[in-house]
Amino acid sequence: MEIVAYGVLADEQPLLRDAFDREFGAAHGLRCLGLFLNRDTAPIAAGHEVVLSSVNDTLDAEVLRALAKGGTRMIAQRATGYNNIDLTAAEELGLTVARVSYYSPYSVAEFAWALALAVDRRVVRAAHRTREFDFRLDGLIGRDLHGRTAGVVGTGKIGAAFARIAHGFGMRLLGWDVAENPDCLALGMRYVEKERLFAEADLVSLHVPLLPDTHHLVDARALALMKDDAILVNSSRGGLVDTDALLETLRAGRLSGVGLDVYEEEAGVFFLDKSLEVMTDERLARLMTFNNVLVTSHQAYFTRDAVGQIAATTVGNVADHFAGRTSENTLVPRHETGTGR
């Protein structure tokens, strides 16, 4: 039986194939596509019981109906987030859905720090200058983070890893979450209301999932509370930040630096080569004009360690589906009824 995977990146493919070969051998073939899953590409999956999806695929009710009609019975999301999947429609159609609930938190936490340090010390601007043999230091002054305050929004595995690094820098720790993490408390973190965190932190890093309650968590009000010279880093989900409000804040000359590995309208842009096209997303184009803003293409998770773990977990989810098992990764369990087949 052949399994089809959408949105497979070049560096991801060998790790994914290796994981499938180790688990299934010749029992199940793997077809890797660079195309993202949407209404136009869904027919390619016809005849494939299992579809492996990526975080930038579109799995709304229309796409899920097309998959179910073509014989698909299982969606294995190669990511932790699943806000791109209509779980209600999947259940109605009798589709099993699973995700990767855990992979290396260090990949994202370390990259969030890479963004923070890059904007604080003006690394990108400096690199561009030196490539042109301009070795002046004008406009490149940063500041020590030692002794300053890090605000960690979301203190799960990734947030806790970020906090441990902040503690290593000698920073004061403020946290906000629905539940306190004992590991963070042991570092000396003080949990406060998010308004106080925004107001007191010199560096704010976001590590919460995108839910209705967290959509535009960083809005105009939150940004107004932040220090004029604060640094904002988002390596979680783009929808956590109100881009329009952020643009207004930057136009007002506020915030020392912003590091964004995610963007709320990244679908159809990130992971693709748009260098020969006109950028029609005016908000993204405007973000790029600020020399204190660094945007990367949702790469925080992209280490061999993390991608290898994602591949291994995805294979385990597929094996569970064939065996009729569920796990902590199961979002919609296997069932035999449904309207899509």
* Cα four-point dihedral sign 300, 315, 156, 306: negative
- Edge-to-edge strands, sheet with 257-260: 190-191, 172-176, 149-153, 203-206, 231-234, 257-260, 293-295
- pLDDT grade, residue 338 (50/70/90)? very low
Residue 52 belongs to a domain: yes
Beta bridge partners of 206: 153, 234
On whether both 145 and 279 belong to a single domain, the answer is yes
Q: What percent of the chain has pLDDT over 90?
A: 91
The residue-averaged pLDDT of 183-200 equals 98
H helix runs in the chain, sequence order: 13-24, 61-69, 87-92, 105-120, 123-131, 157-168, 182-186, 194-200, 220-225, 243-251, 282-287, 304-323
pLDDT at 28: 86
- Pairwise pLDDT comparison (117 vs 334), residue with the higher score: 117
The residue-averaged pLDDT of 265-278 equals 88
On whether both 155 and 268 belong to a single domain, the answer is yes
**Residue 145 CB contacts under 8 Å (≥ 6 apart), including other chains:** 116, 117, 120, 166, 169, 171, 202, 203
On whether both 215 and 281 belong to a single domain, the answer is yes
Contact 120, 171 (CB under 8 A): no
Q: What is the CATH number of the domain that holds 136?
A: 3.40.50.720
On whether both 132 and 168 belong to a single domain, the answer is yes
Specify the 3-state DSSP secondary structure of 199: helix
Residue 338 belongs to a domain: no
Number of Cβ within 10 Å of residue 329's Cβ equals 19
pLDDT at 336: 58
pLDDT at 141: 97
The residue-averaged pLDDT of 298-306 equals 96
Which range, of 183-187, 206-210, 232-236, 337-341, averages the lowest pLDDT? 337-341
On whether both 36 and 128 belong to a single domain, the answer is no
Report the C-alpha gap between 7 and 33 in whole angstroms.
Answer: 6
The residue-averaged pLDDT of 285-289 equals 95
Q: Which helix (H) or strand (E) holds 53?
A: strand 50-53
Q: Is pLDDT above 60 for 180?
A: yes
Catalytic machinery residues: 237, 266, 298
Q: Is pLDDT above 60 for 33?
A: yes
On whether both 165 and 213 belong to a single domain, the answer is yes
Mean pLDDT of the chain: 95
Residue 340 belongs to a domain: no
pLDDT at 2: 85
- pLDDT grade, residue 217 (50/70/90)? very high
- pLDDT grade, residue 341 (50/70/90)? very low
On whether both 322 and 309 belong to a single domain, the answer is yes
Contact 163, 112 (CB under 8 A): no
Q: Is pLDDT above 70 for 339?
A: no
Report the C-alpha gap between 63 and 69 in whole angstroms.
Answer: 10
What is the per-residue pLDDT across 41-82, written as a single tens digit (0 to 9) for each? Answer: 999 999 999 999 998 899 999 999 999 999 999 999 999 889
How many structural domains is the chain composed of?
Answer: 2
On whether both 309 and 216 belong to a single domain, the answer is no
Q: Is pLDDT above 90 for 267?
A: no
Residue 337 belongs to a domain: no
Residue 67 belongs to a domain: yes
Residue 262, domain extent:
105-295
The residue-averaged pLDDT of 184-196 equals 98
